[in-house]
Structure 1
Amino acid sequence: LSLAQQRMWFLNRFDTESSVNNIPVAVRLTGALDLGALRAAVQDLLARHEVLRTVYPEVDGRPYQLILPVAEAAPDIDVESATEDDLLQKVTAVVSRGFDVTTEIPLRARLFELSERDHVLVFVVHHISADGWSISPLTRDVMTAYMSRAEGQVPGWAPLPVQYADFAIWQRDVLGDEDDAASLLAAQADFWKRTLAGLPDELNLPMDRPRPAVQSFAGGMVGFTIDADTHRGLAALARRTGTTMFMVVHTALAVFLARMADTDDVAIGTPIAGRGEAEVDDLIGMFVNTLVLRSRVDTGEGFSDLLARVREADLEAFAHADIPFERLVEIIDPERSTARHPLFQVVLSF
């Protein structure tokens, strides 16, 4: 397994009923549907992406990747009637059911029929075999294959240059052994030990209720808009200071959190795609990593000065982004709690 997969495997063994690491996508299909072509297209998808037909059993306590033949792995697309009123409830039920990755392939499919010419195709894939980026090649390849199969042809796509299992082996080879002082993994571990030394275990934001003893993963959503003038101002500031919009927004968020939590030490998490090689751009797989961006916020400092320091810290973090977050938690070894996320509790996904 890749290093990120190891953590996903452990979490899945801990609770196979949990859906927190499920990645769903639903596609509305309008017009005459060829169900046979759709089923063939899903088999084409599994043939193209080995990771979608991989299970993760263990031998002597260690997991390994077992890639199944397409005929053995391909999920049957169950067809279920639905109405506009109960569609969301039915889709939610499909995507909220957990996986046992030791015995089940990490992909599930369901087709909801609202009428003869109106369907919703639902996929849910476990995070051990995919990330957010993966949804684009997944849906694109299914639709490409469907169009070919509906015309009685096989998909004419070029073979993928690598498979995810190749990446997992390459990653371990490149990063090396942490016990080897000359390895890339050891060098990055040393960087993060220095960078995150003494980091507070929790950002104490004011809350209207105490944290539960065990985090529930239940959440809500509040929307707001940044108007065009403000956006232009942010973009102009980024150009003028040789930074990026991400860095400007990161700095502003750090200032806000420092004021809200009355602290000068702010850690914010951010996801990074982890696809540094063009060969993996069209590959379904678990590449994403999470970085910890630490900022020291001096209330007497000008925003531009803080932005310059954040720029340097962000670039340093991006240059040391190969070590998996799960391993980073083990290295830093913060006080563990089931009530909060380790190392940071706020994420900036830009």
Structure 2
Amino acid sequence: MGEKQTYDLSHGQKRFWVQSQLDAQSSAFNQSVAVRIRQAVNTAYLQQALHIIVERHFILRTVITVVEGVPKQVVLEQMTLNVPVSDVSDIGEETAWAEVQKEIQTMMNQPFDLEQSPLWRAQIYKLAEDDYIFHICMHHMIEDGWSMDLFFQELFHIYQALEQGTSLRLPDLPIQYIDYAHWQNQQVLTGKLNSQEQYWKSRLNGELPSLQLPLDFPRPTVRNAPAAVEKVTLDAELCAGLEQLNRRYGTTMFMSIVASLNVLLARLTQQEDIIIGTPVAGRNQKQVRNLIGFFVNTLVLRNRISRDITFSQLLQQVKDECAGAYAHQDYPFDQLLQVLNRPRRLNRAPLFDVLINFAAGSKSEENFGGIPMERIKLGNGAEANEFDWTVIVESVNDEMVISLSYGTDLFTPLTMRRIGAYFRNIIAGAIQEPEQPVWKMDYIGVEERTEMNRINDTQKTYPAGVTITSCIQEQVARAPHAVGVVDGSKAVTYEEVHLRSNQLGQLFSRYGVRPNSLVAVMGDRDVPLLTVILGIMKAGGAYVPIDPDYPQSRIEYMLNDSSCRVLVTDTRYFGRMLNHLPASIETVICLDETVWGESEWIVRLREMRGHEAEASFIPVKVQDIPVHDLGLENIPGEDDLAYIMYTSGSTGQPKGVMMTHKAVLNTLFWLQDTFALGQKMSSHRRRLPVSQTRCGNGSGR
């Protein structure tokens, strides 16, 4: 084997390589472990033990080079080891410990150059004669969690053999990582995994859901913020309850936690189709169980949480899903991504946003020549990666610790603390009543429920039987000469608005406007338009605001969908609508630009009797219509429509939202109670400006 011979990457390595090309300066794939050895250490023996491991495992002498655009592994025959020893024993224990932590963090954050050896770095720290720390940091392309355990087992086994002068006994390595990578690639290329490929394609067919978690911040275009972690502890009593639940339904602890996570995600997102991921060791072949390298594969778990499913039914579904996934776990995840050919986004992980990893039992201490060796917790325990959440589950004595790692660019600590409590409550609820429907599980805590009830206790009695028009009439009676509307430099009294809207109300009544009739209104926001709206309501009708700046297709859709019989617009917009009016429109009332003065309204009547129908224009002077009609403002009832407001249509076609007089006044009465606009307030605070935007922009109330 020469230094220049190249070998294919494994599928897992290929994915890491692609991700590393997106950000060569990222340290996200650095994996670190530090151990504290509370005894005297012969550093020469420790370095010699490391040298033997490097000679034994080719992957620790491997670099990645690009040959004709394709990344390849290169195994170096010779590699100079450099494991510095830092003696901080003379600066005091507290200061030494702080200095070591600082140096370890610096090493963890330093990116690797994949083309330069080695893809790991190590250092020994001497805190005292009988107190040492050994720290190693590897790129994820050459290791996984299993590999780290193997590394330390071999390191200390070799060290003890050297120190005691005994023969070295290590398991044989029949193959190396490059052999595994070749075998894995051949499995795919020769079609031996075709049946597994078909399984995954069938499980992930159709439209795949995108998890809509309740974010605290807008999702950034590129995610590079640090991660944080929220820990949830399940005490011994809860763990015992989970074990009993699993015995009852023939499931495992992993399955019951996954089912609970599915409930949490479904309830937070209100989605029924949930996809999460989980890693597997990928060491089914006995030849690789003693190899250092990256063997982990990722499995996709898809569950559908129907509205009537119980937790026990979901648990059985998760059991079946896990069984199917594990039976087809050899198919490489990165190959699956290629086969599915789904578009990639830099700010989201492919296929799923939540990864759950059920770690082995936590073992913080191991034996080092008869003296405990302690693994040191590095950082805050958060895992920075491409997922929105990474859920790590660990057994610690009789308890279970669930770590929710999350991106600080998406969530606040307060939100994750609350979500962590939800997770625990769902698990507790499943133990207590597994036959309950998951959509009815009460996962909100007592304190939060009490606060929600307090905030939502908004019941209040408002006047009954009143309408917008009757309220206007009352205001006119109280203060007829008070300024009711301000439009730029123009101020109009309540009485003026009332009298003109009375005239228009009678005009609309002549042309068929009755209670709950819909009248489309398209024009600029100004005082005349306000009198039109009140006039429509006084005739009993409801207005449908249409912004003239909308695309023609949206205007036509709103007119057709609402089936309005009357359209009110002005002469500037009438011409463009002439040939686009739906059959439902029988009357078009045009305002000219000076209608508030001495001008006329023009009424266009259109008899819809086929293509030969002609349009006629009838001039009507508004001033000739009587002002007073004592019963006009009493035509609509509180349950009659006041207006219909169309949504944006961002999720499909726009939808008309019907608002009654009662619903509108409920909001206005609340505003009055909350902000208390009144006669004693200064005039500039009592006057509400009329927006200069056109009608129908979403606030035409």
TM-score, structure 2 as length reference: 0.47
Aligned counterpart, 1:103: 116
Shift of 1:155: 2.8
Q: Percent identity?
A: 36
Bigger Cα displacement from structure 2, 251-260 vs 184-193: 184-193
1:157-201 CA-to-partner distances (Å, cap 9, x unmatched) read: 243232211211222233334xxxxx2333322222221123445
Which aligned pairs between 1:71-82 and structure 2 lie closer than 5 A? 72-82=78-88
* Structure 1 residue 36, shift from structure 2 partner: 1.4
Letter in 2 for 1:168: A
Structure 2 contact 62–118 (Cα < 8 Å) conserved:
yes
Query: Which aligned pairs between 1:126-275 and structure 2 lie closer than 5 A?
Result: 126-152=139-165, 155-177=168-190, 183-200=191-208, 202-216=210-224, 218-275=226-283
Partners of 2:253 and 2:147 in 1: CA distance: 24
Structure 2 counterpart SS, 1:221: strand
Distance in 2 of aligned mates of 1:327 and 1:175: 8
Residue 129 (structure 2) aligns with: 116
Question: Residue 89 of structure 1 aligns with which residue?
Answer: 102
Give per-residue Cα distances to partners, 1:269-308, cap 9 Å, x unaligned.
1111111022222211110011111110012112112222
Aligned mates of 1:201, 1:297 — CA distance in 2: 13
8 Å CA contact 1:46–1:53 kept in 2: the answer is: yes
Alignment coverage as a number of residue pairs: 343
Task: Provide the secondary structure at the position in 2 that maps to 1:222.
Answer: strand
Give the SS at the match of 1:299: coil
Confirm or deny that 1:279 pairs with 2:287. Answer: yes
Deviation at 1:258, TM superposition (A): 0.3
Which residue type is aligned with residue 86 of structure 2? E
Which residue of structure 2 lines up, in the alignment, with residue 7 of structure 1? 15
Amino acid at match of 2:54: L
Quote how far apart the aligned CAs of 1:337 are. Answer: 1.5
**Which deviates more from structure 2 when the two are superposed, residues 59-68 or residues 340-349?**
59-68
- 1:296-307 aligned within 5 A: 296-307=304-315
Tell me the CA shift for residue 152 of structure 1. Answer: 4.7
Q: Where do 5+ consecutive residues of structure 2 fail to align?
A: 1-8, 89-95, 359-701
CA distance in 2, matches of 1:311, 1:130: 30
Amino acid at match of 1:333: N
Partner amino acid for 2:198? D
Letter in 1 for 2:228: G
Structure 1: where are the runs of 5+ without partners? Answer: 178-182
Deviation of 1:217 after TM superposition, in Å, equals: 5.1
Change in Cα spacing, 1:199 to 1:292, as seen in structure 2 (3 Å) is: farther
- Superposed CA RMSD: 1.8
Whether 1:292 aligns to 2:281 is no
Distance (whole Å) between structure 2 residues aligned to residue 112 and residue 258 of structure 1: 48
Write 1 or 2 for the structure with the bigger share of strand.
Answer: 2
Distance in structure 2 (CA, Å) of the matches to 1:228 and 1:329? 40
Taking CA–CA contacts closer than 8 Å with sequence separation of 6 or more, which of the two structures ends up with the larger relative contact order? 1
Q: Aligned equivalents of 2:153 and 2:144: distance in 1?
A: 15
Distance change (3 Å), C-alpha of 1:217 and 1:142 = farther
Letter in 1 for 2:149: S
What are the Cα deviations for residues 36-62 of structure 1, in whole angstroms up to 9, with x where unaligned? 111111101101111111112122122
2:26 paired residue number: 18
Give the conservation status (yes or no) of the 8 Å contact 1:19–1:97: yes
Which stretch has the larger CA shift, 28-37 or 18-27?
A: 28-37
Matched residue of 1:63: which SS? strand
Matched letter for residue 246 of structure 2: A
- 1:326: which partner in 2? 334
Give the Å deviation of 1:322: 1.6
Are positions 1:32 and 2:40 aligned together?
yes
1:75–1:108: 8 Å Cα contact kept in structure 2? Answer: no
